[in-house]
Every structure is written in structure tokens, then in C-alpha cells.
A and B are shown apart, each in its own frame.
Chain A
Amino acid sequence: MNLSESMKMALRSIKTNKVRAFLTMLGIIIGVASVIVLVSIGQGSSQSVQDEINSLGTNLLTVSVADTDSVELTEKTINQFKKLDGITDVAPVVTGRVYAKNGQNSAQVSMTGATSAYLSVRDLELGQGRFLTDLETELRSKVVILGSDTASTLFENQNPIDQNILIGGVSYRVIGVLKSVGTSMGSSGDDVIIAPITSAERATGSTTIGTIYLKAKNEEIVERAMYQVQGVMTTSFPGQSDNYSVTNQEDLMETMSSVSGTFTLMLGGIASISLLVGGIGIMNIMLVSVSERTKEIGIRKAIGANQKSILLQFLIEAIVLSCFGGLAGVAIGLGIAKSISAFSTLSISYSWPVTLLAFLFSILIGVIFGVFPANKASKLNPIQALHHE
């Protein structure tokens, strides 16, 4: 009794019970499909996060202060940063939320107080008008650059350039509008107002610099530039290293990918549980099948089937069920993932190793949950089985 014989027998008995076979496979189909879809979504979102971080520029360094009382970034520190040979641009930033108004239109937006360097450090692009000049920063000019969303909220279809908006009752002139940058890590980069840092300090009422963005000369020396920046921070604020942090994009990327990795793993894990449940379904049906076919097993044993042949017959039946289920699951999973990427904004990233793994896992489940019923069948006493009705 060889393998292809057993295979033929298994296929035949599956064929005679099509509906039951389909229902049994359904558990595996759903399991495999959901593993593929959920992992695709997880990996897709982690891919898009990485793309976003990359799009911010890989030579960006960020000094952020957690406790502005103990770490007070001043002009002096900023000048020290500017002198570092690894750094080309330094952009200190104050942020706050303001209420901006133009006639009937108003918006609660985040205001970023910046300097002329901000545009190049953050790799932003202007859609209209111009950016801040150093003079405007020095003179505390009442000029603003609007994010694309803010511009369309306040001005709807008008051209905002050289129009005035009111922020906290003070009139500001719009000198530029940013190109849309999209949503980045949950905060919209288009829902902003950029003003000279000196004016923004007044408008937002925050005089402390919370963040400094620095641009390293090139990607190769990001690490060195980071050490230099850390050196300045350590000498300026000795013993305060808990209250500020110096990060580069790579650190951020690592953090984000570890977060999204965990996320993907969790989704995959949940889906695997459904695969496991599908396996239990197979075991259940196989046990029913064994007790239904007790007589058949008795006849087969009487005419000379040994335990191995019977075991193989039922085991292969379970594996064939799970294998077909797995294949259908892969097809359906890929189909669903494809339609999700076509009809929604979720980004999908297929993973062939995960697809293969889900398929192999489904076969493994067939083996694991097929062994018990098959073993039960093979151990049946031929005399009792023969007289079973």
C-alpha cells in the first residue's frame, strides 16, 4: 500500500462528502485567509510608517526637551550648534495652539514658531508665496505661512497671499502657503501656521524652545553630528540627560518598526488562533468520519489492511482537507488583501514568506489534528469493527 494509493482513497472519500469536506475546510480557509490579510495590513502600515519617516529626511536630528524648566535652550546653545562642523542648519521651534480667524472662517490650529532655516531642515516645500526671512524673525514681523489645510479652511477658494488673518486678536499677513505633506504619525502636517519664532512666542505665550531641528551635512555623518550635538547638550546642561533627548530618524524608525512589528505579530497571532480552531474542526469531523466508517475499517482490516495503511488513509484525508483549505485560504486571503488595497486607503504589503508559512502551518495543523482520529481508526479491533452497524 503506497502513498499514491492512500491519496487516491482519501480523495475519493472526500469527493463523496463534498459539503462536509467544504465545511471542514472553511475553518482552515478562514484561518489562512485572515493570517494573510491581517499580516498584510500590519506590514503595510509599518511600511508606510517607514516611508513617512524616510520622507522626513534621514539627515534630520532632533533635540527635544521634556522639562523646559531645567533645560532652557537659549540663543547661546543654538549658536553653539551652528558652529558644529557636522551641522548645516539649525531650526529652533516653539509650538502652541492658537485660534486663527478670517472673517467668518476660523480654525484651531497648531502654531510653529520657526526661523528661516526651518523650511530646508524639515524638507518642506512652498505651494505659494515665500518663506520667512531672518529679518522678519528679528523684527518680530506679524507674518505667517499657512499649511495647505489651514489655508483652505480660512480662505476657502480665495488666494490667501497678502491677506490678513487674526490670531488672538492680532492681525497677521499671509506670505506663503505650504505644499501638502499629508498626515505623519497621527498629526496632520497641513493643519499648521508657521510664524517667526519671535512673534510666535508672543502669540502662543510660550517663550521656551521645546525642540530644535538640526540638519546634518549628509547622511554619512549623521552619527558623528549626533555625538557633537550630544556633546554640546552635555556641557551646557550637565546631569540633565533625563530631561532632553537627541534623536535621529533612524532611532525613530527603529522604535516605530518595533512597535509595528509587535502589532503585526499580534494580528498574526490572533489569526493563527482561528487557524487552530479550524484544525480542531478537522479533528472533530475526522472523528465523526472514523466512527461512521467503522464497518469499512473492519472490512479493510479483514482483507489485510495493517494499522499503517488505515492510519495513513485517515491521516492523508485530514492533510488533504487542510491542504485544500490552505490553498483556498491563500487565494482568498490574497484576493481580500488586493481588494482592500484597491478600495480603501489602508496600505497593504504582501509577504510571501508569511503566505507560505500560513499554508505550511495549515498542513501542519492537518497532521497534528489528523493523527488522533487516524490513530483511533488504526487501533480498532477488526472483529468489533466488522460487526459494527
Chain B
Amino acid sequence: MAKPIINIQNMSKSYELGGETVKALQDVCLIVNKGDFISIIGPSGSGKSTFMNMIGCLDKPDTGKYLLDEKEVEKMKDNELAAIRNIKIGFIFQNFNLLAKLTALENVELPLVYRGVGVKERREAAVACLDRVGLGDRMNHLPNQLSGGQQQRVAIARALAGNPPVLLADEPTGALDSKTSKEVLQMLKGLHENGQTIILITHDLEVAKEATRVARIQDGQLFENGGDWIEPERIDEDGLTLYQNQ
């Protein structure tokens, strides 16, 4: 069997908040194989954001192991992490996080700029990515000249530009209406069908269900039921209490 893309073992993280120690993650284990489309679902305060920061190499765990594409990430220094983020992770954020002063094309080029790719080569790559998300005719627009859905597609193009092994989407539909949400999810599904590994972080079960695997995070602990879906009528208001009773 091929080695997993992401292999997290017994990861813990705690931080100080108002004089109290909050255990954001406790002995979390997760294995993601190449080509997986996994969603991680959890309410706010569940440790979801902390876990996302860990997977995205934006933060370092207190204890535990993290192998990302066979690289030991947990011991890396800040600059090494920056390089890993650049090469291994494509971020898609809730509020798009495009640079307002750069055009769509320049935004998509940016990861390649930091990778040191030459002007011509990265332009070609960026144009190809924008074509892929259907924005080939909007390359020279600034983000504020694009709709929310279009902005998120630019962000997806940016995440794809560096051809990273993992796409990490943090509430990618959180700021979009239901129609555009569907489009964006459809697009992610399409990428998955082409073999892209995607990690989708959300609090919305409907969104989470689009993935082939679902993991739930609550109170700093991660549970997974192997994609075995619970019937929708058993879901509470917050969409999560059902797991606690299992």
C-alpha cells in the first residue's frame, strides 16, 4: 500500500486563554491517503481551527508526530514550514483571502512567485489554472470586480497553481449563497475525481457529506466513522450531538 499523504499520530496542542489552559487537541490521529476527499466537521471551539492550522503547517503541535508527504513537519522551523506550505498545501479560505491590490492572475501567480518560478512559466501555469476554474476571461480583474463565487474560484485556482499534493479548504462555502456553494463544492468534487487529495473543514454537515470520508472533531478529539452516514433526521440543531450518543 502506498504511503499516506498525511499521517498524524497522537497530536496534542494546548494554549493559554485568559489564564486557563485550553486543550485544543488531545491525542489526535489521522491518516489521509492520496486521492482522499475527507471532511472534518466540528462546531466552533471544537479545536477545528487549531487542527486546520496544524494540517496547514501554520502552527506546530506540542507533542505528536506529523508526516506530510513523508516529511516530518513537527520539528521544522518557521522558514521551513513556509516552504512546506508553499509546496505541499493549497489553501482555500472562507473569506477567499485574495490580495485586493493584485489582479486575479497575479493572485494565482503568487504561490509560484514565492517558489521562485520564472515569469513566463508561472504566467502560463496561472492562466491554465484560471481556465480550469472557468475564469479565463476574468484574469485581469481585481478581486472587488468579481462576485463572491468568482473570488472563491480565483482562490481555488491559486490553491491549484502550485500543484500541491493537498488542498486544504477551510469553510470554502461559508461566505457564499447556496447556489454558488453548490458550484464550488461541485468544483472540488471534480478536482477529487481527477485524483486531487482534498481536506475540507466545515461546521455544516450538508457540506461535509459531499466528501467521501467524514471525521468529526469535538472537544479536541477526532472521531471517524468510516463514511458510514447517519440518517439526516437524527441530526440535532448543531448537527453533532448524535455522535456523542454513539
Contact A304 B87 (CB under 8 A): yes
Chain B residue contacts of A368, Cβ below 8 A: none
Query: In this assembly, does B66 line the interface, its C-beta being within 8 Å of a C-beta of chain A?
Result: no
Contact A386 B97 (CB under 8 A): yes
Contact B79 A306 (CB under 8 A): yes
Contact A301 B82 (CB under 8 A): yes
Query: In this assembly, does B47 line the interface, its C-beta being within 8 Å of a C-beta of chain A?
Result: no
Task: Report if A383-B58 is in contact (Cβ < 8 Å); known contacts: A2-B116, A299-B97, A299-B99.
Answer: yes
Contact A307 B78 (CB under 8 A): yes
Taking CB atoms and an 8 Å cut-off, the chain B residues in 113-165 that contact chain A are 113-116, 158, 162
Contact B113 A306 (CB under 8 A): no
Query: In this assembly, does B179 line the interface, its C-beta being within 8 Å of a C-beta of chain A?
Result: no
Contact A12 B101 (CB under 8 A): yes
Chain B residue contacts of A16, Cβ below 8 A: 101
Query: In this assembly, does B51 line the interface, its C-beta being within 8 Å of a C-beta of chain A?
Result: no
Chain B residue contacts of A266, Cβ below 8 A: none
Query: In this assembly, does A166 line the interface, its C-beta being within 8 Å of a C-beta of chain B?
Result: no
Chain B residue contacts of A164, Cβ below 8 A: none
Residue from B53, B58, B83 within 8 A of A306 (CB atoms): B83
Number of chain B residues close to chain A: CB under 8 A: 26
Contact B86 A307 (CB under 8 A): no
Query: In this assembly, does A382 line the interface, its C-beta being within 8 Å of a C-beta of chain B?
Result: yes
Cα distance, A101 to B85, chains bound together (Å)? 97
Chain B residue contacts of A346, Cβ below 8 A: none
Contact B97 A5 (CB under 8 A): no
Contact B85 A303 (CB under 8 A): yes
A306 (CB) vs chain B CBs: closest residue: B82
Contact A300 B116 (CB under 8 A): no
Contact code string B91-115 (vs A, CB < 8 Å = 1, else 0): 1010001110110000000110111
Residue from A5, A299, A308 within 8 A of B113 (CB atoms): A5
Cα distance, A305 to B114, chains bound together (Å)? 6
Query: In this assembly, does B220 line the interface, its C-beta being within 8 Å of a C-beta of chain A?
Result: no
Nearest-neighbour CB distance to chain A for B43, whole angstroms, equals 18
Nearest-neighbour CB distance to chain A for B13, whole angstroms, equals 12
**What are the 4 tightest A-B residue pairs by CB atom distance, in nearest-first order?**
A304-B86, A306-B82, A304-B114, A306-B79
- Residues of chain B having any CB pair with chain A under 8 Å: 53, 56, 58-59, 78-79, 82-83, 85-87, 91, 93, 97-99, 101-102, 110-111, 113-116, 158, 162
- Residues of chain A having any CB pair with chain B under 8 Å: 1-2, 5, 12-13, 16, 295-296, 298-309, 382-383, 386
- Can you spell out 6 A-B residue pairs with CB atoms less than 8 angstroms apart? A303-B110, A304-B115, A305-B86, A305-B114, A383-B58, A386-B58
